[in-house]
Amino acid sequence: MQKNNLIKKEAYVNGKWVSARSGKTFEVNNPATGALIASIPDMNREDVRAAIDAANESWHSYRDLTANERAGLLKKWYALILENKEELANLMTIESGKVLQESIGEVEYGASFVEWFAEEAKRTYGDVIPAPTNDKRIVVIKQSIGVVAALTPWNFPLAMITRKVAPALAAGSPVVVKPPSETPLTALALAHLAEKAGFPPGVYNTVTTTESSEVGKELCENRKVRKLSFTGSTQVGKILMSQCSSTLKKLSLELGGNAPFIVFDDADVDAAVKGAIAAKFRNSGQTCVCVNRFFAQDKIYEEFVAKLTSAVAGLKVGNGLDSDVQIGPLISAKGLNKVKQHVEDAVAKGAVLREGGKEMSGLFYQPTVLADATADMIIAQEEVFGPVAPVFRFSTEEEVIKMANDTEYGLAAYFYTKDVSRCWRVAEALESGMVGINEGLISNAVAPFGGVKQSGIGREGSKYGMDYFMEIKYLCFGGIK
């Protein structure tokens, strides 16, 4: 039960709660039980165009607020998010299937971006550059970019919004948020709290839809949208990038991954297993930075596989609202089928099933460990996005770096070793935007999040994240006497 009435059944545009102009709605269901949670507006291009217009109309007055005033609004939003932490977490678990403890952690993690960028709003410093002649002065300032479109994924329905929206709002840019159709209710709850925090009408807008392609196209092609931030698949990211080319929008794209997790012979194997569980099985293996490939060196290979298998066997599967559950359902039948296909392909090509490997009732799948994985398996090149851990064997450092980098993706990577020299060598050699060294949990508001190669463009979070929501302007003062 949402005691603070956080379940909203309308979209939020220009400071008002509205239905789709067509009157259409779509259902949001609990992936753990299949039960209907709510029916909400199924909006189209016309609806989202109205949201863009409202955002653009609010831009000039909002950007003229002082940094302190914008920071104050963000701090109020931050306080409201934490004040409603349990209700937000409960709602997130109901619509996404994520286990409750992880949902609580996500609310805190998501709120940390709001707090961070509330503070960064006051630190968007410019620069004074020494001029080449005495009669000139050169100054650099940073300004709000304009309307920002935020397209967010279902696997982190709260944090992926705050990571995009908080820096935009801090910079003086209004936002149009398009959450996924699987998890729109958390997004609407955040909009409700932003309204309570006092953001002016038009500054914060949330549109809900099942017409992702058409609505996304409007956000890409509409010239009033100056910046688009997207988290999702590489395939969709390329489409959005192409559609944005006609207006040359500024882009932030956090796309697919194929994260390696390397355990060297000299590693603390118990620590590596603990890190592996955190980096692989959080949110049932459905996170952007989830490990997709485990590599264990010859000497400790069997020890690592045995201890990982034992730890995985102890994970309980069930409804995320149950306090002792660590693995919830997959988000959809499509996601479940992908997991099944990856496991079946791996076993057919020689992988040894050490644990799990079976579909359960509904959208649940057993946490799985596959030993003796090889490069010809589908799971070696594609994200499984489920609770499956394939373990590859390697002999030398040079060999495993080549194996780890043998992918078009480069979002996150992890490795365990006690050798300080190796820490530097391997961290620098891995083609990845983020590297966890003897650590399985790396996401943090103060650190830049993003990938290389086909894992994306740009960074979110940290002091670096603010620049992607601002324009740099050069001022040249002449005739100085």
Asked whether 379 and 342 are in contact (CB, 8 A), the reply is yes
Q: Specify whether 288 is catalytic.
A: yes
Task: Give the up-direction half-sphere exposure of residue 464: CA atoms within 13 A in the CB hemisphere.
Answer: 10
Cα dist from 364 to 36, 48, 388, 410, whole Å: 18, 35, 12, 29
Helix (H) or strand (E) holding 265: none
Q: How big is the CA angle at 337 (ends 364 and 181), to the nearest 5 degrees?
A: 80
Alpha-carbon dihedral 461, 462, 465, 467, rounded to 10 degrees: 160
- Beta-ladder partners of 391: 294
Alpha-carbon dihedral 226, 229, 234, 239, rounded to 10 degrees: -30
Given the residues 218, 254, 397, 460, select the one marked as catalytic: 254
Given the residues 220, 244, 288, 290, select the one marked as catalytic: 288
**Beta strands 470-477 and 137-144, pairing class:** antiparallel
**What proportions of the chain, in percent to the nearest 5, are helix, strand and coil?**
40, 20, 35
Helix (H) or strand (E) holding 130: none
Alpha helices in 370-429 (DSSP H): 397-405, 420-429
Q: Specify whether 115 is catalytic.
A: no
Q: Which residues are designated catalytic?
A: 254, 288
